[in-house]
Amino acid sequence: MSAQPRDEFARFAVVGRVNKGKSSIVSTFTEDDAVRVDPAPRSTRSCQEFRLRVGGRTLFTIVDTPGFEDAGAVLLWLQERETSAADRAQLVEQFVRTFSATGEFPEECELLAPILAGAGILYVVDASKPYRPNYEAEMEILRWTGRPRMALVNRIGSDDYEAEWRRALDQYFSIVRPFDAHTSGFEERLALLRAFRELDPSAIDALDQSIAMLQADWDERRRESARAISEMLVDALTMTIERPAGEFDDHKAKEREWNEEFRAAMRERERRQRRDVELLYHHDALERREDDLAEDAITTDLFSQKTWRVLGLDQWQLARAGAVGGAAVGGTLDALSGGTSFLAGTVIGGLVGGLSSYFGARNAARVEVVGRPLGGRVAIIGPVSDANFAWLVLDRAILHAIAVSGRAHAVRAALVLSPGEEERRVGPSGKLDARERDTIGALFNRIRRAGGTDSETAGALTDRVAALLERT
Ligand SMILES: Nc1nc2c(ncn2[C@@H]2O[C@H](COP(=O)(O)OP(=O)(O)O)[C@@H](O)[C@H]2O)c(=O)[nH]1
Ligand SMILES: [Mg+2]
């Protein structure tokens, strides 16, 4: 294909009449949910280019074109001047040159230009409407361009006239394929690229590279999704929030509030992971509707023995200890943020002395160390105590990721995540065999016990989640 930018593997022009789903196909094919899709027929007069880019390369560019407006008249003009079938492509070029200058047939001039410049043709029809012979003029014009072309049978409504459409389309296109803009997923897109490969021998190498990169990228996205999910799972297993609690305050009054805050933080963590997955699949503008993580699923040992931790000293103690003078502030802060027992005399001396002399004794109580005020106690809320919680979160994440990766970008309605009866009873993890369940369960336990994860455990969990994503 000529006239292409160097870093681009393939270029297609999507053509057809207005309101047949051209822009929707462009949107789904380029995974771009910013392509304008119009519920009401709206003629546009100019072409717009969209591309799918991976790693700095353009796997393909799709030109969204204005619809044919007066194909009959255009074909007449062409036929009046035809002397030989061999000159047809040149005649179409002559047509575009002539009328670009006069401003007549603006839609046809605009949509033919990228085709004449080398783009492959994707001709879109809506097979939920009956076939009419008046489509023949535009199909004939496309044939005259001599460019490789494929017909895509989209269906906007529920009626089905595909059989009669096919009989007509077969006369003009060597490949006719169904391609539903709203339901076509990754495999359908890949199949379309493979089919186009057959149409254009000069583009085989470029399309092969494009297909290989698309596939590698898809695998990479699944891996990245699995990583985002497994990182979120680690947090679901270990997350705590800390709230300052004065020595003599009645913490009972705060209990509800802290619990609410913890739940909000957990939900926010889940939302962040969902957003990460949506961005991996280029669903930038996705609106999602779903049930939040159920209130009663997030239970914590709010005031168990381990919950309280003495954090600092009161103003008086600080002032007194400050006189001792002390160690390097930085090192001691590290010890603190690492959760080390910093009550050992020397550390306290160092910490408080260091801080007091650093910030001035009078301000010491207001100094925040790794986000916590010195002085008083800290309540630690979490982690979630229910051992089933991580499984629930895992199932939710898998169902979400599957829905997102399979969603066509042309669909503009909110993504409604609401598991059916069956899924509620047995989620994706419930379908695992016993060994796989044990493996994942053991990883959960290891993370829960350690209060975090190491790279080996994290990697193993990511592997298991990736396998689950692949299987579901
Ligand atoms: N249900 C459904 N609606 C579709 C499909 N393709 C297009 N539409 C709708 O048909 C209308 C026209 O689509 P659009 O892509 O703007 O058509 P264009 O004028 O040819 O670019 C929009 O409301 C789309 O949402 C499809 O595959 N399924
Ligand atoms: Mg459009």
Residue 205 domain-assigned (yes or no):
no
103, 96 Cβ separation under 8 angstroms? no
pLDDT at 471: 84
Q: How far is the CA of 422 from the centre of ligand 1 (A)?
A: 32
62, 12 Cβ separation under 8 angstroms? yes
Closest ligand to Cα 44: 2
Torsion-angle region of 277 (φ positive above 0: left; ψ -120 to 50: alpha; else: beta): alpha
Each of the 472 residues of the chain gets a pLDDT tens digit; together they read 445 666 789 999 999 999 999 999 999 999 999 999 988 887 778 999 999 999 889 999 999 999 899 999 999 999 999 999 999 999 999 999 999 999 999 999 999 999 999 999 999 999 999 999 999 999 999 999 999 999 999 999 999 999 999 999 999 999 999 999 999 999 999 999 999 998 888 899 999 999 999 999 999 999 999 999 999 999 999 998 887 766 545 666 777 888 888 889 999 999 999 999 999 999 999 998 877 777 667 766 544 434 344 333 333 333 333 333 333 232 333 333 333 333 333 333 333 333 333 333 333 333 333 344 455 566 778 888 777 889 989 998 999 999 999 999 999 999 988 767 676 677 888 889 999 999 999 999 999 999 899 999 999 999 999 999 998 7
Q: How far is the CA of 42 from the centre of ligand 1 (A)?
A: 12
226 and 348 inside one domain: no
171 and 241 inside one domain: no
pLDDT at 358: 32
186 and 47 inside one domain: yes
Written as six digits, the tokens of 197 are 């490969």
324 and 184 inside one domain: no
111 and 242 inside one domain: no
Nearest-atom index, ligand 1, CA of 39 = 23
Residue 5 domain-assigned (yes or no):
no
Q: How far is the CA of 38 from the centre of ligand 1 (A)?
A: 7
CATH number of the domain that residue 89 is part of: 3.40.50.300
Write out residues with Cβ below 6 Å of ligand 1: 16, 18-24, 37-39, 154-156, 180-182, 410
What residue has token string 């681009």?
8
pLDDT at 89: 95
Residue 204 domain-assigned (yes or no):
no
CA distance readout (Å), 75 to 69, 140, 170: 12, 8, 20
What 8-state DSSP symbol labels residue 33? T
How far apart CA 35 and CA 201 sit, in angstroms, is 30
Neighbours of 15 (CB within 10 A): 28
CA-nearest residue, atom 24 of ligand 1: 39
Nearest-atom index, ligand 1, CA of 18 = 19
How far apart CA 261 and CA 258 sit, in angstroms, is 5
336 and 459 inside one domain: no
Could you say which of 154, 171, 199 is where a domain stops?
A: 199
How far apart CA 242 and CA 251 sit, in angstroms, is 13
pLDDT at 417: 82
Helix (H, G, I), strand (E, B) or coil at 389: helix
Select from 20, 37, 65, 154 the residue to mutate for testing ligand 1; criterion: most ligand atoms less than 8 Å from CB: 37
Q: How far is the CA of 142 from the centre of ligand 1 (A)?
A: 22
Residue 208 domain-assigned (yes or no):
no
The residue type found at 161 is Y
CA distance readout (Å), 317 to 244, 309, 362: 18, 17, 12
Nearest-atom index, ligand 1, CA of 41 = 19
Select from 14, 18, 22, 24 the residue to mutate for testing ligand 1; criterion: most ligand atoms less than 8 Å from CB: 24
Residue 206 domain-assigned (yes or no):
no
285, 291 Cβ separation under 8 angstroms? no
103, 97 Cβ separation under 8 angstroms? no
pLDDT at 295: 66
Q: The domain containing residue 106 runs over which residues?
A: 11-199
106 and 182 inside one domain: yes
pLDDT at 243: 77
Total number of domains in the chain: 3
Q: How far is the CA of 21 from the centre of ligand 2 (A)?
A: 7
Which class for 158: exposed (0-12), middle (13-18), buried (19 or more C-beta within 10 A)?
Answer: exposed
Could you say which of 375, 410, 426 is where a domain stops?
A: 375
What 8-state DSSP symbol labels residue 300? B
